[in-house]
Each structure stands twice: as C-alpha cells, then as structure tokens.
Structure 1
Amino acid sequence: MKIGSNCFSDKTFKSIVDSLHNVGTCEITKSENQNVYDSNTNEELLPYLEQILDLFTPVSSMKHIQGVEKYSASLYNILGKWNMFSVPSSDIETILKAICHAKLDENPQIFTENVIISGFLNEKYMNQSAILKKYSWKEFCEDIKYHNRFHSSEVNVEQLSELLRFLNIEIPSNKLSLYRARICDATHYDIGYTNDKDIGAPPENVATAGRINSEGIPCLYLADSDITTFHEVRARVYDHVTLGEFKNIMPINIIDLCNLDSITPFQYEDVELTWFAINIEAIKQIAKEISKPMRRFDKDIDYVPTQYIADYIKNLGYDGIKYKSTINEGGINYAIFDPGKFKCVAKKHINIKNIHFKAENFI
C-alpha cells in the first residue's frame, strides 16, 4: 500500500516519508503527486510503529484486573489522540495493518479488541512516573480547589519538572518585542495613558486573579501582536486604546506551552514511550486550561489549578509562560512573572474602528 506523507502529522514520520522521494498517489487520501511510503518495499517506519504497538495489551488477557475498563479503548482511538496521524481512526487502522503485518499475524487481538497500557494498572509506577499520579485532571482540580489548596498530593512535581525541562526556551536581552493594551477610561479617552506604569502590570494592591497569577501577585500579560492584545482586552468598536510595546531588558527563560496540544511520542529525545502514554492527557489538559480565555462568569476558584501549575513553574526559576491565544487564532500570549524584566519602549494611542466576529454552532 502506498501511504502519503500527508497521512502523518508527526514530524519524524513525515520527514522519513519525504526523505524517500517516492512520488505517487496516496491510497488513503487519494492525493496525487505525494511523497509516499510503500508498505510492500519500505521498512523505515516499522521500528517506530512496532515500538508503539509493543506498549499495548489486549483487554481480554487482563479482564480479571480491577480498573482495566477505565483505561482501555480501541488501539486506533488511542493513537488518534497522539497526534501522529492526520487521518480518521478507520484510516489509522488501515495504515497500521499495512505496515505492521508481522505484528498483525503475531498478536491480532491488539488490532481487533480494546487495548490497555499495563503501566496504568501499576499504582507504584503511576505514582512515580505520572505527572498527576493515578488521578485525572478533573480529580486534580477538585482536590486543589476544595481540599488541598497549597499542597496537593495528586501532583508528581518531579515529573512535572522533567516535562518543563523540554519546554524551556532561552531568550537573550532585547530580542523579544511584545505588546500590551489598555482600554482608555473617560479621563484618558482623548489622550491615552502617557505613564508607562499605567499600561504595565497592575500593582500588588489591585492585581486580580487570572489563570496564571493569584490575587495580589502582579503578572505582566503580553501578546505577540497588537491584534492579539486588542482581542485579549476585549476591545470594542469606538474604544480608544493605549498600546505599549515591551522588550525584555535582560535574558529570560520561558516555558513554551504552545505546542503541548500537538505533542507526539518522538518529539523529544530521551522521552520513554510509556511515560508519554500515561502523561499525554494531563499534558494536553495543562496547555488547554492555561490557554482558555477568562469568561465573565468564571469565579476566582476556577483559576486555582492553573495558578498552581504556574506557581510551580515560577518556583523553579523560570521567568514566564508562552501559550496560545484562543481568542485570536494564531496569536501567542506571554505571562511574565517579574514585570521588571520588561520595559515599555513605545506607546501608541489607537481608535478601534471595527472588529470581526466568527461564530459556529456549539453542538
């Protein structure tokens, strides 16, 4: 079977297929003039996929063990959440069976039954290796909001620290230009805010709770562009806005969460597949929750789980967090723990002329 590189979203897989320089028609997507992987003659993807398949055990051989159903699902549904493929689960099945035909003969149950990764059933292993130990993100949120606000026993901080090590980016002084906007009140409507302090982080006595910072702890929220920051402050037509450009005046270390929702098993070196498998849901949830916009009906307590994660990142000595804007598609936000590491270098007084809405059915 000829499988086009467009069937894969994993960069490692795509680069392998592209490096073969076999141009043809993908039998999965019917796309022509694609770099294709021929499962009858090529073997380059086989070691990677066999490594993954070796993680799984058919549920029929473990039904006597308590908790099996909680963590089991079809092989294709599980792998569909691992960001390796860009095609539906039915096509993932076709691809795996075509490439891994030896495994299909050797262990056909993993292709036909629900499967499980046995590490989920090993409480000792989960407590040692899973970021949220044996708990789900929902269970962690319930615990930290209503039971153990400051010292949750459901987080494995050593494993969280290990994840953060892969996400750190170092930025030299004066290499990062970011933006922050403030909607002008009646007093400043015609002149804008002229004092740098008025468009910087709020002082301690007025700093309200956000997804990253707790009440009373200032945090400098910045964005990659003027458009992103206009969206973030919910600017409306005829609002006057002061836009500040900020630059880092010293080297900083930022934790980049932007691509956590699309992380793949082979993205980072030295990451074990089992570790990836038991942590992928928690990793995605952390990125999703931190990126989620603040809603008018949110309560301060709703921000406690992400504040806990951010506070731990800060405690490790990192300077801030980079995350996706869900309000402006393609936009990037930054939360800087120490506002003093950035300086406002320019200001503009702007009149918002129009805005664009995009709507979709909720269900």
Structure 2
Amino acid sequence: MPDRFCCAFCFGDANLRDNFIFDRSVGTGTCGYCGTAGVLLVRPMDLREAFEVVVGVYEIVDDGESLPTILRQDWALFTHPVMQDDAHAKELLADVLDSGDLVRKNFGPPAGYGTQSLTKWDDLRGEMMHGNRWFLRKEIDYDRLRYLFSLLIEDPSVLSTRWHRARILNDGTSYALEEMGAPPPRYAGHGRANPAGIPYLYLGSSPKTAVSEVRPHAVEAVGVAEFTIPELKAVDLRGPRERISPFGLEDDQVVQLLADIPFLERLGDELTRPVVPRSAPFEYVPSQHLCEFIKHCGYDGVVYRSSMSNGVNLALFHPKVASGIVVQRYAVQQVEVHVAVLT
C-alpha cells in the first residue's frame, strides 16, 4: 500500500505548519486526507510526538467527547471542511498516533483542570470600575499576561496596509484630510482603548466598518478617510483559540494554556462588547488598562472585532505612523436595529 501523506490544512495550526510540517516535509503534492493540492506533505507518523503530548493531557472517560471534537473545541484544530467530519479526522489521528483504538475512546478535560483566571478578571474589572482605579488591591500577573500577548502577535504581512476612519459631518461640511486623524491630546476623550487625554487612532478595515463604529443616524453624511500604515506589531484579540498552539510544549504548559484561553477571549470581549454611552467613562476603564499594558510591552496597536459590524478594528497607539490618503463623503442610507426581550 503506497504511503499516504497529510498536510497543514488538515490541522489548521500555524505553529504545526511552520515548525513541524515544514521541517519534516517529504515534498509537495495533493494531500491524501483533506485533498488540498500543491501543499507540503508529511508522513502522519512524523507528527506523532507532537500530538502525543497534547492528547496525553486529556482524561479518557466514558461520557466524554470524541478526540477530534475535543481538539476542535479546545484548540480549533480540524476545522477544514473535510476534517469537520469526525470520521475523516479520526482516520488521520489514528495514523498520526499509530493507534486506531485510542481514537475510538472518549475524552474529558485534563485531571485537575480548572481556571480561576475569569473569576480574578471579573474581580479586577469590578475594582477598576468601582473601587480602586490606580492602586489595585488585587494583583495582576503581568509577566504571564506579557507572555500570553506574545502568542497573539498578528503577522505584519497579514494585516492590511489600508485602513479607514469615519467622522459624522454635523453640518454637511467635509473635513480636511489633516482633520481626520486622532484628536489633539486636550480633545481626546475616553475610548475603548485610550484613557482621556491620550489619543489613539481608531481605524476600521473598511469604510462600512469605520462608519458603523461612529453610530450614525440614517440620512446623516459621514466623512471617511483612508490611511496607509507601515508594517507593525499588533496584538490580535479576535480569536485567541485559533491563534494559540499547544504543540511543542510540555504537558503542564499545555494545561495552563488551555486554562488561559477563556481569559484571553474575555479580554477580547472587553474591546468588542457594546457599551451604553452614559456608562462608558467607567465601563471602558478595564479595556483601557489592558491596552495601556499592551502598549507598555512595546506593541504598536491592538486588533479586535467590531462591535457594530462584521469588520475588524485597529487601535493604533502611535497615530503619527498612519498616513492619510483621501477623504470621501458617504450617505448613511439605513441603520439596522436588533432587539431582544430582557429577562
């Protein structure tokens, strides 16, 4: 029987692709598992050691999840359309682990698994907003936070070089290009990422995203400026589970990362969730604290999901690196409202 090779698309993990499959590749061709053409191929067994550590942290239980399901839920593996069928993913895992018996078992969380990170963050969040803002009684593990942010750096080549900022035209008069950047410090109010008096430049990935963020009314006119930015180092809080890899770590490190991911997802939510304007001065404090620490760590900005559209936002800590290109006028034709019954 001829050898059957897999590829990085089977797994969907960038670290596995760059540091395991690339080094062990036997050449280029069509994947024998997911069918992707023109990709680096690797023998499944050559990935065995990397997978054994990850699989080994889970407990075998009768009422658990299948191995592909739990790896998909915890680490966003096997998201390729073919691999979303557990039968195909199990077939590949059986070849990787050289064990058809193991992949037929059900798995649960690691022994002793649990996280206090979310509880601690909720306590910190409450203290920042309503207790002590500058001298916190509750401790923040900044060293651990710094390490976790280092795992969420967006590849500069992946980030767009063109971004947009919108401003509502209150009297219909367009703003000049030089008026479309970040406000001067004395006019910089509080924002999701910036404390009052410290201007950041908030940019959207498209004109629609930028306009959505300023919450215009229908028929209002909006000016949208296009900016170019250089390659920069930004922390991406859109999807920590998709970005963090468990491969190449010791088993205790895998378990700790697994416990930290929900916390990082909560931090991303801090920048994304809608806030009632009247409570913004204190509701924004936790995300401002977070972004000031990201800036302190030497990053240029933070990438996060838009709360008003399906687009992406970038809070740029150093507005002067952005170069304005052009301003265009847009008319807001429709504003959608979604409601839900409060319980």
2:220 to 218, 239, 253: 239
Change in CA separation of 1:251 and 1:299 when aligned onto 2, cut-off 3 Å = closer
Deviations 1:88-122 (A, max 9, x none): 797799669856575956x99xx55744344759x
Aligned equivalent of 1:181: 166
The answer for the alignment partner of 1:47 in structure 2 is 49
Q: CA deviation at 1:346?
A: 2.4
Report SS of the residue matched to 2:75.
Answer: coil
Q: Is 1:82 aligned to 2:55, yes or no?
A: no
Q: Secondary structure at the match of 2:110?
A: strand
- State the partner residue of 1:66: none
Is 1:352 the counterpart of 2:331? The answer is yes
The CA deviation at 1:244 is 1.8
Q: 1:177 to 1:94 in 2, by over 3 A?
A: closer
In 2 relative to 1, CA 289–240 (structure 1 residues): closer, same or farther, beyond 3 Å? same
Mapping 1:55-94, distance limit 5 Å:
55-57=57-59, 79=71, 80-86=73-79
User: Are 2:110 and 1:116 aligned?
Assistant: yes
Alignment check: 8 A CA contact 1:3 1:95 kept: no
Matched letter for residue 347 of structure 1: V
Aligned residues: 315
Among 306, 309, 312, the residue aligned to 1:328: 309
In 2: Cα distance, 1:355 partner to 1:119 partner: 48
1-structure distance, mates of 2:32, 2:88: 21
User: 1:158 Cα deviation (Å)?
Assistant: 0.8
Answer whether contact 1:258 1:323 (CA < 8 A) is retained: yes
Aligned match of 1:65? none
Q: Is the 8 A contact 2:6 2:31 kept in 1?
A: no
Question: SS of the counterpart of 1:43?
Answer: helix
Instruction: Name which of structure 1's ranges 95-104 and 49-58 shifts more when overlaid on structure 2.
Output: 95-104
Q: Which runs of 5+ in 2 are unaligned?
A: 38-42
Which residue of the partner structure matches residue 144 of structure 1?
A: 128
1:147 is displaced (CA, Å) by 4.0
User: 1:274-311: CA deviations, max 9, x gaps?
Assistant: 34223211122222322334445654322222111101
Q: Is the 8 A contact 1:144 1:152 kept in 2?
A: no
Residue 140 of structure 2 is matched in structure 1 by: 155
Give the Cα–Cα distance (whole angstroms) in 2 for the partners of residues 91 and 303 of structure 1: 45
Contact in 1 for aligned 2:75/2:241 (Cα 8 Å): no
Query: Aligned AA for 1:257?
Result: L
One-letter amino acid of the counterpart of residue 116, structure 1: P
What do residues 239-281 of structure 1 show as CA deviations (whole Å, max 9, x unaligned)? 1112222334x775433334424224247x7794234223211
Judged with a 3 Å threshold, the aligned counterparts in structure 2 of structure 1 residues 85 and 284 are, in CA distance, closer, same or farther, namely: farther
Among 10, 25, 31, the alignment partner of 2:13 is: 10
- The secondary structure found in structure 2 opposite 1:193 is coil
Return closer, same or farther for 1:230/1:259 CA change in 2, 3 Å cut-off.
same
**3-state SS of 2:77 partner:** coil
Distance 1:203 1:310 in 2: 19
Could you say which residue in structure 2 is the equivalent of 1:303?
284
CA contact 1:10–1:84 (8 Å) conserved in 2? yes
Identify the residue that residue 236 of structure 2 maps to in structure 1: 256
Q: Can you list the C-alpha shifts for 1:115-154, whole angstroms capped at 9, x where unaligned?
A: 4344759xxxx9xxxxx4x845434423433444334644
Segments of structure 1 that go 5 or more residues without pairing to the other structure are: 27-32, 36-40, 61-72, 127-131
Any conservation in 1 of the 2:220–2:331 contact (CA below 8 Å)? yes
Q: Give the 3-state SS of the residue equivalent to 2:198 in structure 1.
A: coil
Q: Indicate conservation of the 8 Å contact 2:168/2:223, yes or no.
A: yes
- Equivalent in the alignment of 1:194: 176
Q: Which residue identity is paired with 2:141?
A: N
> Residues 274 and 42 from structure 1, CA distance in 2 versus in 1: closer, same or farther, beyond 3 angstroms?
same
Shift in alpha-carbon separation, 1:54–1:297, aligned structure 2, 3 A: farther
TM-score (norm 2): 0.70
Which residue is equivalent to 1:209? 190
Whether the 8 Å contact between 1:58 and 1:116 is mirrored in structure 2 is no
Report the counterpart of residue 40 of structure 2 in structure 1. none
Secondary structure at 1:85's aligned position in 2?
coil
Q: In terms of mean alpha carbon deviation, does 226-235 or 91-100 score higher?
A: 91-100
- Deviation of 1:220 (Å): 1.4
Contact 1:179 1:224 in 2 (8 A): yes
**Equivalent residue letter for 2:333:** N
Instruction: Check conservation: 1:236, 1:352, Cα contact below 8 A.
Output: no
